[in-house]
Amino acid sequence: MRLLVVEDEPDMALLIGRRLDRAGFSCDKAATIGEALEALRQFPYDLVLLDRRLPDGDSAAHIGEIRALRPRIGVMMVSALDANRDKVAGLDAGADDYVTKPFDGPEFLARVRARLRQGGGGAPLPPIVVGSLSFDVMARQALVRGRPFHLHKREFVLLEAFMRRADRVASRTDLLEDVYGVNHAVSPGALDTLVSRLRKHLAEADAGVEIDLVRGRGYILTEAEV
C-alpha cells in the first residue's frame, strides 16, 4: 500500500515516514499542497496524511481537490492544531480522521491501519518489518527471512508488543500489561527474564534485531547494526 505524507517540517516528515516504512508501507513525501496535488495526479495512493498548516495554505481547504483527483482515497489530518474547533473543522472539511501532534506511535499506526481497512474493504495490511524479522499484525505470525519464527506464548506476546512499538521505547508498565495483563501479580524480575529469553531466540534465528535496555524508561527493539 502506498501512502503520501504531506508535511513541511523535515524532522516530523522523517519521523512519520520512518514509522510508516517500519510498519511495511510504501511512503512518499510532499512539503506543500501543490506538491501533494501533483503527486496525487501521478500515483494511486491509498491514504494521504495531511498537516494542516502548510507553506501554501490550510490543507483542509483542499480536501475537495484531493477527493476530486482520488475519490476513494483515505484522508487523515496530522496536526498540532488540537483545539476542538480545529478538529471539527478538519473533519467537516472531509477528513476521515484527525490525529494531533505529538502523537503516540503505536496508536498512530493502529489508526492508519484502521483507516486503510475501512477504505479497502478489509484488504490485508503489510507486515511490520525490522531487520530480517517481519510480523503480520492481522495473522499474528512472525517470520525470519520468510520462515516461521516459533516462540512460547508469552515470548510471542512480548515480541508483538515490541514490534508494535518498533524504534520506540516501550515502558516496563506497558510491556507488563501487554504480556501479563493489568491485574496479574508478577515477580519484579519476570519481565527481564522474559526479555532475556526472547533476545536469545532472536539471536539464534539471526533475526537482525536487538533489544536494548533504556535505563529508567524500559526497552527498545531496533534493527541490529551491521
SS (HEC) of 187-226: CCCHHHHHHHHHHHHHHHCCCCEEEEEECCCEEEEEECCC
pLDDT over 70 at 123, yes or no:
no
Residue that is last in its domain, among 120, 144, 167: 120
Read out DSSP for 177-188? HHHH-TT----T
**Assigned C-alpha cell, 66:** 484531493
CATH code of 101's domain: 3.40.50.2300
Q: Calculate what percentage of the chain has a pLDDT beyond 70.
A: 96
Q: Which residues pair with 49 in a beta bridge?
A: 5, 76
User: Which single residue is written with the C-alpha cell 478538519?
Assistant: 90
Residue 170 sits in the same domain as residue 113: no
**pLDDT for 66-121, tens place per residue?**
988 988 899 999 999 999 999 999 999 999 999 999 888 888 988 998 888 876 54
CB-count burial class (<10 Å; 0-12, 13-18, 19+) for 28? middle
CATH code of 219's domain: 1.10.10.10
Q: What pLDDT band is residue 19 in, cutting at 50, 70 and 90? A: confident
Residue 54 sits in the same domain as residue 147: no
Q: In whole angstroms, how far apart are CA 46 and each of 33, 115, 162, 202?
A: 17, 10, 26, 33
**pLDDT for 124-155, tens place per residue?**
567 889 999 999 877 789 999 999 999 998 99
For Cα atoms 175, 178, 179, give the angle at the middle one, nearest 5 degrees. 85
The number of distinct structural domains making up the chain is: 2
Read out DSSP for 53-98? EETTEEGGGGHHHHHHH-TT-EEEEEES--SHHHHHHHHHTT-SEE
| Average pLDDT of span 50-68 | 93
| Average pLDDT of span 40-46 | 88
What domain range includes position 185? Answer: 128-223
Helix (H, G, I), strand (E, B) or coil at 16: helix
**pLDDT for 151-208, tens place per residue?**
998 999 899 989 988 888 999 988 988 888 755 678 879 999 999 999 999 999 999 9
**Proportion of the chain in helix, strand, coil states, percent, rounded to 5:** 40, 25, 35
Minimal CA–CA distance to 154: which of 120, 179, 184, 188?
A: 179
The residues, ordered by sequence, that sit 6+ positions from 84 with a Cβ below 8 Å of its Cβ are none
Residue that is last in its domain, among 120, 150, 172: 120
pTM above 0.75, yes or no: no
Please tell me the predicted confidence (pLDDT) of residue 183: 56
The residues, ordered by sequence, that sit 6+ positions from 66 with a Cβ below 8 Å of its Cβ are 36, 37, 40, 48, 73, 75
Preceding amide of 102 cis, omega within 30: yes
Residue 80 CA neighbour count, 13 Å, CB half: 6
Residue 7 sits in the same domain as residue 115: yes
Please tell me the predicted confidence (pLDDT) of residue 24: 76
- Alpha carbon distance 42, 61 (integer Å): 21
Residue that is last in its domain, among 86, 120, 154: 120
- The packing angle between helices 172-180 and 190-204, to 10°, is 80
Higher pLDDT, 1 or 158: 158
